[in-house]
Structure 1
């Protein structure tokens, strides 16, 4: 699974796994473990997590949400100690610690609450998604390169068999 397969729906709490597209929308399954599925039609505002960013005051102007979630995971390893009902000042200082350059005038407390809720959900249900980047940085390889290296010996063996059989 990847951040391209995780979505948030406006008006619905929590995160959803994208199951499959339909003619008029998309089928989503709740990540909370309930197994509940919903059909989000064209009118529903569905946001894929890989498309979401957090405003910053630096040159780039925004940081992808997936990078922020991975930074949180590196620092807190699944337990931030925060919930959506935490004190607003505590939530702001939390984000300031994780992302010092975040734009305080454009990122609201409600956005930070969503960030904390989404992180807590993902840390429970999809921790491997938050750790992918760490493994990639340690090995210095992209996942696609890793898969190619793993497939190369198999392809080589298959080619060798084909030559020897001739």
Structure 2
């Protein structure tokens, strides 16, 4: 997966593709039907999806990378909009997260976080599906062709 180019900006809804840095911040493009480019100032909090993780319970690991959670969703539901998940039902959201991340930490992951996960996956599936492609397989193919 290639989530290093996708970001969430505090105070702005949705996801953004990072276009390039500017003198005052970063130029981003919204993931929408009609993408809009804007400049996000350096003072605003930008979270790159590659750096986000979700809390889990267990002995060794305390969190799982968002990339791995998306991979689990992709393997169970495929690339596409998650129409089976009702984001208004707390029980449905908890059933969903249990199916893709069985050892999720119920004390530290809130319903709003699960709803955001579903929303982000749907946005990526609809407007930037190449971010959900397996980069490990591509790297293996590149190494094989180089030899």
Q: Same fold (TM over 0.5)?
A: yes
Is residue 30–residue 37 contact of structure 1 (8 Å, CA) maintained in 2?
Answer: yes
Structure with larger Rg:
1
TM-score, normalised via structure 2 length: 0.88
Runs of 4+ with deviation above 4 angstroms: none
Name the structure with the higher helix share. Answer: 1
**Residue 22 of structure 1, CA deviation:** 1.4
Tell me the TM-score normalised to structure 1 length.
0.79
Greater length-normalized contact order (CA 8 Å, ≥ 6 residues apart): 2
1:98-147 per-position Cα deviation (integer Å, ceiling 9, x unaligned): 101110100011111110000001111222332315x72xxxxxx33432
Q: For structure 1, which runs of at least 5 residues remain unmatched after alignment?
A: 137-142, 153-166
Residues 1-166 of structure 1 mapped to structure 2, 5 A cutoff: 2-58=2-58, 59-77=60-78, 78-81=80-83, 82=85, 84=87, 86-132=88-134, 136=137, 143-152=138-147
Aligned-CA RMSD value = 1.9
Residues 47 and 93 of structure 1: CA distance in aligned 2, closer, same or farther (over 3 Å): same
- How many residue pairs get aligned? The number is 144
CA distance in structure 2 between the partners assigned to 1:83 and 1:24 by the alignment? 40
